[in-house]
Chains A and B, each alone.
Chain A
């Protein structure tokens, strides 16, 4: 497609039709202070010069640090086949590839992705994905609000602050009543939950493992939530599902989560992958695209978008959600990643994460003044209490070559000395030993 700019004559004609004297007049509603001051850009550079500038900028990134930061986004190994397959032009360049007549490959890939998400969560139906873990959680909450016709939501404060902030922001113009229940010794407070749970409650939202890395069996709470006719929603870390009880086994109605750990690189906030699965009775409340399997006029297996009457292009303002899109390429990477590992490989991956984090707990607990929190079992991330401010320690550890963790004081009041440490399968015992030695040295 060629780029044809408007001619002076075009512009004059268009302005006269709408009755504006100049282009500047079109911007008069924007306060002067907010308008661009100048478009005097520096002189054009050659490709070579641009590459030099960008390389210099890129070199500012601390890419060589040994990474122990998690807090919702994890440094997992990505097999080369994920890049090779997902960057094939048939997948990589396709835009809205949903016409069954010409997009069977893509539709099947999404169908496989959905099937894998169902298998991981144990739930009945999955959509074709959403933007990220936070949007998925918001959409799940709105499903519960629509389904129950209620507007009170109980939120465990072990849910990532990023997600909680997203829920509050997205609903700032809706009448949703939020109640946050505290985390006590790493676990959701049953007592507080039962205090607030009533027949006005639409949903109760948990995260497993929670932001502190603690794992919990929520079955008892989910059962109670259902007694009041409310829905139970879990935001889960998919890699942990290789060894933990699934959301379905605990009775959850909807599970969502961030799919970044399934073959998607860490990259300044995205693009990431929101996944969602639910019990089948909620399928019509589900937002976004759903691919279904069917047979064509000759009886051959094929794939189509299904239940589209939920969606915006048919239902307009009554659509279940504004979201008509998905993260197809990221979902594809997740499907390839999980398929490459297979059932046993995926379990093994979870096992490595768990064991290495346990090894790190041992190594760190030997340091004088470091207290590893052990009140709850954890998956691959855990909390330590340091004898000094965690953010200072983090800076000193950068000098030693480590991104040693996430200072919890950033998200939780009174936790300035607490550090959240994640250990994935990529970390070696040697790296963990060096982490412990360096930490001991900087304290």
Chain B
């Protein structure tokens, strides 16, 4: 299971990479593995206001359609347009090419609700038991 050190995680298996005031958002390796082959993602509109831990996207795989929740609150700056034609990027490269969106996050304090790589690793091991 790939769990990069430099990013933050949610219990719903989303990740956020912080670069200044901007956060890049996607789903984790664990999530893409559990979902199986991903066939479609529905992304929010640019400029949409997201709220931490609430719905921001839908991901469809051959098994199911699942909601994705925003790891932080803030405004959507861009979405990964590559995913429309190549949703398999999420399976192949969940933390890089398969990211969902970038957002300008509005509340620094919300980061404390997220896990670091060590905690997320433990969390995944716990739920996989």
Contact = CB atoms under 8 A, between A and B. Distances in A.
Nearest to B67: A318
B116 to A, nearest CB: 31
Contacts of A149: 45
* Interface bracket on A: under 10
A309 interface: yes
Interface string B42-61: 10010000000000001010
Contacts, number: 14
Interface in A269-314: 284, 309, 314
Most buried by B among A309, A314, A315: A309
A284 B67 contact: no
B40 interface: yes
Given A309-B40, A309-B60, A315 B65 contact: yes
Contacts of A318: 58, 65, 67
A149 B45 CA distance: 10
Interface in B47-84: 58, 60, 64-65, 67
Contacts of B91: none
A199 to B, nearest CB: 14
A315 B60 CA distance: 9
A228 to B, nearest CB: 16
Contacts of B65: 309, 314-315, 318
A309 B39 contact: yes
B64 A284 contact: no
Majority secondary structure, B binding face:
strand
A363 to B, nearest CB: 57
Query: Looking at chain B, what size class is its interface with the partner chain?
Result: under 10
Nearest to B45: A149
B42 A284 contact: yes
Nearest to B59: A309
Find the residue from B39, B45, B64, B65 having the highest chain A CB count within 10 A: B65
A409 B24 CA distance: 61
Contacts of A315: 65
B66 to A, nearest CB: 10
Contact of A314 (B42, B45, B64, B67): B64
A284 B45 contact: no
A153 to B, nearest CB: 20
A318 B60 CA distance: 12
A30 to B, nearest CB: 38
Contacts of B39: 309
Contacts of B67: 318
Interface string A211-237: 000000000000000000000000000
Interface in A313-339: 314-315, 318
B44 to A, nearest CB: 10
Interface string A236-278: 0000000000000000000000000000000000000000000
A309 B59 CA distance: 10
Nearest to B62: A309
A251 B128 CA distance: 52
User: Residue among B39, B40, B60, B64 with the most chain A CB within 10 A?
Assistant: B60
A309 B45 CA distance: 21
A395 B58 CA distance: 58
Sort A-B residue pairs by CB-CB distance and give the 3 closest, nearest first: A309-B60, A309-B65, A315-B65
Given A314-B64, A318-B65, 8 more contacts: A284-B40, A309-B40, A309-B64, A309-B65, A314-B65, A315-B65, A318-B58, A318-B67
14 contacts: A149-B45, A284-B40, A284-B42, A309-B39, A309-B40, A309-B60, A309-B64, A309-B65, A314-B64, A314-B65, A315-B65, A318-B58, A318-B65, A318-B67
Interface of A: 149, 284, 309, 314-315, 318
